[in-house]
Structure 1
Amino acid sequence: MGHLNALRWFLSTDHQTALILEDDVDFSLHLTSQISSTAHALRSLLSPGSPSTLSNITLNADPHFWASPSTWDILWLGHCNDAASPAHVLTHPSISYPDPHIPPLSSIAPPAADILKAFNLSDSRMLHRSYWPLCTFAYAITRASAARILSTYGTEGEGGCAAFDVRMLEACRDHDWRCWTVAPELFHHVPGKSEIANVDMNTGTDKGGGEGDERRRPSVNIECGARNEWLWVDREDGVGRERMLERVREASARGKCITSREEELDGKVEV
């Protein structure tokens, strides 16, 4: 219902595209540049006549920042996997593009790692036609695709599946929706309770969220995750917030990430 309500709200605005995020996802501190690179790749793939450099187009100035809305339906920026094979990728247009803030190939989980290895890619992401995109951590939609999702999957229907992400997968896999997957993903689930889990707790249906040491694990396929608990400082602690920002910028300039409290206190960063 949360996804459907978000889609209805989007259609009540005059926005041409939207990015739907689940509330318990992590993303890199370098997300801004990653989003721009991904948008550039999508335009290059789907809109050959679009501006060739990011300096010629900005998110706020052009409704086609994500390529013309008439050329795509769903862009999977966050997922738990897309089990596409190299053969599937080769069957459709695809594009790879550099990302200096991608995790090391040895740290990327399959199947994304398998795809990158198959095409001899490192320090790069791939944008390919979706095959089996599971989990709706983060996905972009157009006005047309949002309306189509609501009309097609607004109710379970006879023999329907209650899992929203499975219905979205079926749209891309079985019904030829124009879906594209970023591998590895830009957003991934982070252990911990979500707002929905907090509501479920009051109704007695909460299954429990990750707590304790589990919260400290790096998010899958995310480098320099923004949801790292050691990066968060109380809003009232102005001095602490400025100090943390300085530490993060210093680490980022050296191509490193702060990943623990000890590293933050000692001014050390992980290689």
Structure 2
Amino acid sequence: MLGVFPSQKSFDKVPAMALRRKGQDRIKLLTVITLIFVVLYLYGIPSLPPTRPESRRKPGWQDRSTPRGAASNSTLGFQKILALSKGPSWRSRGLLAAAGHSSVNVEIPRQPHITSEMIDAFRHIGVKGESQMPHGSAHAWLAHLDLIKYGVSSGLDTFMIVEDDVDWDVSVKGQMALISDNVRKFLEVTKSDSSPYGRSWDVLWLGHCGEHTDVDTPRVEFADSTVPLAANYTGWADKYLKLLKPGNRAIQRAINPVCSFGYALTAHGAQRVLDWAGKGGSEAYDIKLMLGCKLNQLDCITVTPEIMHHYTPSKALGYHSLVQAENGKGASVAEETYETTMGATENIRQSARCRVLFDSTCVKKQRDYF
């Protein structure tokens, strides 16, 4: 018996149903494949950092996985750079402009209010038989301690403190790579410790206004093309710079550094500074810090000559520092005057502030604040 042929409608339906099933199968397959890729992306395949061919690396490029490479990162090898500042001003705006130009990340935490009563009480701590420190100096001292406490409470392993009028060279990252090499050499840091500067110090003093060194001072010298010539170095320490080979910087134990423009602390060093400087004194915070180094109450390393100094507007414009003004030694003029007229920075050959704000260099020729 011959079979019954399906109707024409049946022939029409079969391909359509098959196509529909095939399309649904494709959607399911694509969905599964997509899910597999998502899972692998999120959990399965560790991402590798892109490598840059040698020929395409920018001048000054550093491998961040090495100590010297980490020293030239956006926080100069520390976990954070914290700026001491009373609030927005030409100082802080210039600092942030210089930081941006140098690809350096600076945080300006809000400082807690310090009452006059607290300042006066602090002036009387530990000064039996000594003259009291001026009001402005005591205020600045307490502000430094507050910022150190902020670093400690943030759980930072290392951090750097800069004052908000600080300035540095446009090549600061290259300078820090060299400093990393030579701090590690000076401290005999082992290869097993990959930190940029080792950890066997309390204070690393990078920004100051002079340091003592002598012929027999243990130190490591190294060539640095950004070092000011001895004949052009400004300040009381110029005679000591002549003991270094021309074009050299040095790493040594701190002997007599003054001015706290920029200094780094380890976590244990921060606690020791709080203990030492929290006892008060008769002069200023930087002198107390220097005495801690000198008397071996603190383990301090200095870089000489300094790589950071404070930028100052011209005294001809009526400039006085915040500490001077609070000590009753004059008052500064309107902010706008300092914003539009270039000042100067001692011992920094290529000022980051002056480069970004005035497209110029501004090496100060003569010290006028002592």
Give the aligned partner of residue 72 of structure 1. 201
Q: Distance in 1 between matches of 2:255 and 2:202?
A: 14
Structure 2: gaps spanning 5 or more residues: 1-141, 363-370
The alpha carbon displacement at 1:189 in A equals: 1.4
Q: 1:123-178 deviations in whole A, cap 9, x for unaligned?
A: 2211112111111111111111110111222242xxx2251111101101123522
Q: 1:221 aligns with which of 347, 359, 363?
A: 347
Q: 1:93-129 deviations in whole A, cap 9, x for unaligned?
A: 310111112223321235554334224x122211112
Say yes or no: does 1:184 pair with 2:184. Answer: no
Asked whether the 8 Å contact 2:276–2:297 carries over to 1, the reply is no
Q: 1:64-93 deviations in whole A, cap 9, x for unaligned?
A: 2111x2x211111011111x2414xx24x3
- The code of the aligned residue for 2:187 comes to L
Give the aligned partner of residue 172 of structure 2. 31
Say yes or no: does 1:130 pair with 2:254. Answer: yes
Identity across matched positions, percent? 26
Q: Distance in 1 between matches of 2:170 and 2:356?
A: 11
Q: 1:19-67 deviations in whole A, cap 9, x for unaligned?
A: 110111111001011111111110111134238xxxxx9xxxx5x2111
Give the aligned partner of residue 3 of structure 2. none
Give the aligned partner of residue 107 of structure 1. 232
- The code of the aligned residue for 2:208 comes to H
Give the aligned partner of residue 214 of structure 2. 86
Q: Distance in 2 between matches of 1:49 and 1:128?
A: 18
Asked whether the 8 Å contact 1:128–1:180 carries over to 2, the reply is yes
Give the aligned partner of residue 161 of structure 1. 282
Q: Distance in 1 between matches of 2:158 and 2:332?
A: 31
- Name the SS for the 1:65 alignment partner: coil
Distance 1:33 1:162, change over 3 A: same
Asked whether the 8 Å contact 1:102–1:123 carries over to 2, the reply is yes
Q: Distance in 2 between matches of 1:187 and 1:114?
A: 19
Q: Distance in 1 between matches of 2:157 and 2:308?
A: 22
Q: Distance in 1 between matches of 2:160 and 2:327?
A: 31
- Name the SS for the 1:148 alignment partner: helix
- The code of the aligned residue for 1:98 comes to A
- Name the SS for the 1:26 alignment partner: strand
Distance 1:3 1:212, change over 3 A: closer
Asked whether the 8 Å contact 2:272–2:298 carries over to 1, the reply is no
- The code of the aligned residue for 1:222 comes to I
- The code of the aligned residue for 1:207 comes to G
Distance 1:86 1:155, change over 3 A: closer
- Name the SS for the 1:144 alignment partner: helix
Say yes or no: does 1:197 pair with 2:197. Answer: no
Tell which structure's C-alpha radius of gyration is larger: 2
Distance 1:176 1:226, change over 3 A: same
Asked whether the 8 Å contact 1:116–1:126 carries over to 2, the reply is no
Asked whether the 8 Å contact 1:113–1:184 carries over to 2, the reply is no
Distance 1:30 1:112, change over 3 A: farther
Question: Which has the bigger relative contact order, CA under 8 A and spacing at least 6?
Answer: 1
Structure 1: gaps spanning 5 or more residues: 52-56, 234-243, 245-257, 261-271
Give the aligned partner of residue 267 of structure 2. 143
